[in-house]
Chain A
């Protein structure tokens, strides 16, 4: 690796860190955790599922991230009558040219916000999730590649509501990270109330980055070193979930790989070129939480307790 390239790498990393700072301090106050996780997911090439009640700035978050990175943004509002073609796009007959023309759906954007994904019918969900996994869409026998970088930020209302179709576990697995946004701290919320919505301010955001730079960053994230000791630690955590008495199915190998790449992204965002156990710990709940299949008799909050207890019990490698 040449010195110039190294410097470029450092620039990328610093630029991304600045972006996170900018977003969390200027536009999206009090959402540092969500921003960081979303950025990490973007860097690791995964998708994010935001689980929170409406009105906490999920859309704002997605929009501002797309804007600041200079990426195109698409939005899908899920309803129970949403069809797969509403997402992927469809072929319409062009009378002038006398042939079918493919009209791209909203999924053909860099950042796609899928609002209230659990309102869509399973068929539509499945089409969406397939596109997320394959990163391409096939309509009428023609395959269309989705743009790169590509990230879906889906939101889901955690409260049980009428007319929702909860995502099955196998599809939850497609999301690298799940997180909530949470209420901002009291002082910050008061300031937000005084200033009003910042939607208009978002229009002012100047793109600081572009897709190519982001892809370069992704490449760097892949190069972040994950040593033997940290891999052992990660494995011990994952394996412990499999034999935990409250868990029916623990974290799969794909889950472990996801945890590793999310940890890499976290290390990158923290300005390191190697993964430390704290990266794994930080990413454990966002990455592994939704992948645990609990026993029927255990409550939903037990997930977090299980992971927290494992984090405490399994020793961090220090020598």
Chain B
């Protein structure tokens, strides 16, 4: 025997904790402390059946807390004070009296807390918490109705079963409805209440400039840049082309918008679907060399760089089609000079080196080979820490320190090629990625940002050269991190959060239109032949199985009840008394009818001997009932 009140209190505490859990890290320390203390004291108080905070004091504390939090409000600091206020209210409620009304307030506050946590973070944890909360709140509300009528009600096992069964059915129904409305109700392009949040600081990722020597150490973040759904590729082909830098001035490579067009064609290559995390710039990565990108408002420029017009402040996805070969060539050979522009100030040592590499009328291919040999001969090492900060980073890197990261390698190689008369550009992007074989996608972190070089050969074709691979330690330094396979836990974890992003967070008006369009298309092309027959077969099989099982179940478990109900109805109609609550033999004795006696013997004989009715008995019983009904 369990008192309803005990369960209600337990539900209230669990709900309060569930609501605050996703918020907890965003709370001020004093809110965290007060909530923790309130939970503990509240539990202790309820255990001893004592009320810790008088109603009057609870009101006063609430007012003080409200005033305090209101004093912190400002246009830019809006969500946090409100969230803190909610949690403090909850703390006051946990300490105070807990009548039905107060319990209802706890339920409501916990739902508000969970809802407001979506203002601060939209992690996957929200979903299971929501489901648990829907269940608990429904059960709690149901129990509350009992509690209000009979405060000290105790229920035995049967009673609990009767109460909790519908209380569990209800939330299942509402969750299904929720799913339906999630898909169907029109969604906004952006979360409506984002206006409450100041936009998150733009994440500095891949820079739009290559400026070696600017920093002494390269900060490596392990934050995710994007995920790419595709088949697993040769790791040497995993160059994610994002931006092309075509202008060099004062040791800085940057992008000049009006670049001459490239021309390149290929048949369909490797299909990818790319899920880009929010970032500061507007360039879209795709596997090198992208043939085309498909998605919402994507523009491409002449040098096969793709970008969107708007800032990427939410996760977006698009499809891409790439060929991992050097397929680009300059559309107008006369535009070569664009890629030969040189900075105004050039170190003498570099000029001399370029002269040496160029030699006498060597082909561009030969120049590239010679330069590669020179780089190898210099014993350069790849390093991203403790780099000298100078005004002449390239010269320092090549002739003095001999240490640097990809920007040093690429910019020096690029500059030298230009000095030697080979049209060159720098390509920024990402290198490598870890494959999640469970989800079938690559994970590319921000730390995989990379810069390499494209040189134009005499036949007008762009050739990809990665100078970083010329470092003596390239094998371990350039691709070292990417080589480790993901652990199955990481894979599972990331697959789930990827699914969450895809199915829920990225589900917006555009996706809805996409579904609508697809449905429309499917309906237009509808014909019996297009039907996925195997799927239909499976569905029919499963549905048939369910139906058959239900039929069998009904026939074998429900038929006793059915024939009994029929019999009782007939008895009531014919003999004019309500047989409810009477035993079968009592009924037979009271009616004195031989058919009733026979029914009691047959039915009771089966039931009270713990047997099940066989077909023969059922038939006999049916005949008996029909006879009774007829006379």
Are A229 and B607 in touch, CB under 8 angstroms? yes
Residue-by-residue, is A217-228 near B (CB-CB < 8 Å gives 1, otherwise 0)?
000000001011
Nearest A residue to B562 by beta-carbon distance? A319
Residue-by-residue, is A283-319 near B (CB-CB < 8 Å gives 1, otherwise 0)?
0000000000000000000000000000010011111
A281 on the interface (CB 8 Å rule)? Answer: yes
B361 on the interface (CB 8 Å rule)? Answer: no
B586 on the interface (CB 8 Å rule)? Answer: yes
Q: Which residue of the partner chain, among A225, A272, A274, A315, contacts B581 with CB atoms under 8 Å?
A: A315
Are B564 and A227 in touch, CB under 8 angstroms? no
Are B605 and A274 in touch, CB under 8 angstroms? yes
Which residues 546-601 of B sit at the A interface, judged by CB distance below 8 A? 560-561, 564, 581-586
**A276 and B608 in contact (CB under 8 A), knowing A319-B560, A319-B561?**
yes
B604 on the interface (CB 8 Å rule)? Answer: yes
Q: Which residue of the partner chain, among A227, A274, A277, A319, contacts B583 with CB atoms under 8 Å?
A: A277
Are A318 and B584 in touch, CB under 8 angstroms? yes
Task: With both chains docked as a complex, state the minimum distance between the C-beta of B93 and any C-beta of chain A, in angstroms.
Answer: 35
Which residues 585-631 of B sit at the A interface, judged by CB distance below 8 A? 585-586, 604-605, 607-610
Query: Which B residues are CB-close (under 8 A) to A128?
Result: none
A-B contact count (CB 8 A): 42
With A and B bound together, what is the CA distance between A276 and B586 in angstroms? 10
With A and B bound together, what is the CA distance between A225 and B607 in angstroms? 12
With A and B bound together, what is the CA distance between A275 and B561 in angstroms? 20
Are B564 and A319 in touch, CB under 8 angstroms? yes
**A227 and B560 in contact (CB under 8 A), knowing A276-B585, A315-B581?**
no
With A and B bound together, what is the CA distance between A277 and B604 in angstroms? 10
A71 on the interface (CB 8 Å rule)? Answer: no
A230 on the interface (CB 8 Å rule)? Answer: yes
**A276 and B610 in contact (CB under 8 A), knowing A281-B583, A312-B581, A315-B581?**
no
Task: With both chains docked as a complex, state the minimum distance between the C-beta of B590 and any C-beta of chain A, in angstroms.
Answer: 11
Q: Which residue of the partner chain, among B560, B585, B605, contacts A278 with CB atoms under 8 Å?
A: B585
Task: With both chains docked as a complex, state the minimum distance between the C-beta of A246 and any C-beta of chain B, in angstroms.
Answer: 18
Query: Which A residues are CB-close (under 8 A) to B582?
Result: 316
Are B609 and A276 in touch, CB under 8 angstroms? no
Most buried by A among B560, B584, B607, B608: B608
With A and B bound together, what is the CA distance between A223 and B582 in angstroms? 26
Task: With both chains docked as a complex, state the minimum distance between the C-beta of B571 and any C-beta of chain A, in angstroms.
Answer: 12
**A274 and B564 in contact (CB under 8 A), knowing A312-B581, A316-B581?**
no
Nearest B residue to A280 by beta-carbon distance? B583
Which residues 352-392 of B sit at the A interface, judged by CB distance below 8 A? none
With A and B bound together, what is the CA distance between A231 and B32 in angstroms? 56
Are B610 and A319 in touch, CB under 8 angstroms? no
Nearest B residue to A239 by beta-carbon distance? B156
Query: Which A residues are CB-close (under 8 A) to B608?
Result: 225, 227, 229-230, 274-277
Are B607 and A319 in touch, CB under 8 angstroms? yes
With A and B bound together, what is the CA distance between A312 and B578 in angstroms? 14
Are A278 and B586 in touch, CB under 8 angstroms? yes
Task: With both chains docked as a complex, state the minimum distance between the C-beta of B502 and any C-beta of chain A, in angstroms.
Answer: 49
Are B584 and A227 in touch, CB under 8 angstroms? no
Residue-by-residue, is A88-101 near B (CB-CB < 8 Å gives 1, otherwise 0)?
00000000000000
Nearest A residue to B563 by beta-carbon distance? A319
Nearest B residue to A275 by beta-carbon distance? B608
Residue-by-residue, is B27-53 near A (CB-CB < 8 Å gives 1, otherwise 0)?
000000000000000000000000000
Query: Which A residues are CB-close (under 8 A) to B585?
Result: 276, 278
Query: Which A residues are CB-close (under 8 A) to B561?
Result: 319
Query: Which B residues are CB-close (under 8 A) to A277?
Result: 583, 608
Residue-by-residue, is A66-88 near B (CB-CB < 8 Å gives 1, otherwise 0)?
00000000000000000000000
Most buried by B among A225, A227, A229, A275: A227
With A and B bound together, what is the CA distance between A230 and B604 in angstroms? 11
12 A–B contacts from the bound complex (CB under 8 Å) = A227-B609, A229-B608, A274-B605, A276-B584, A276-B585, A276-B608, A277-B608, A278-B583, A315-B581, A318-B584, A319-B561, A319-B607
Given contacts A229-B608, A316-B583, A319-B607, 20 further A-B contacts (CB under 8 A): A225-B609, A228-B610, A230-B608, A274-B605, A276-B583, A276-B585, A276-B604, A276-B608, A277-B583, A278-B585, A278-B586, A281-B583, A315-B581, A316-B581, A316-B582, A317-B607, A318-B583, A318-B584, A319-B560, A319-B561
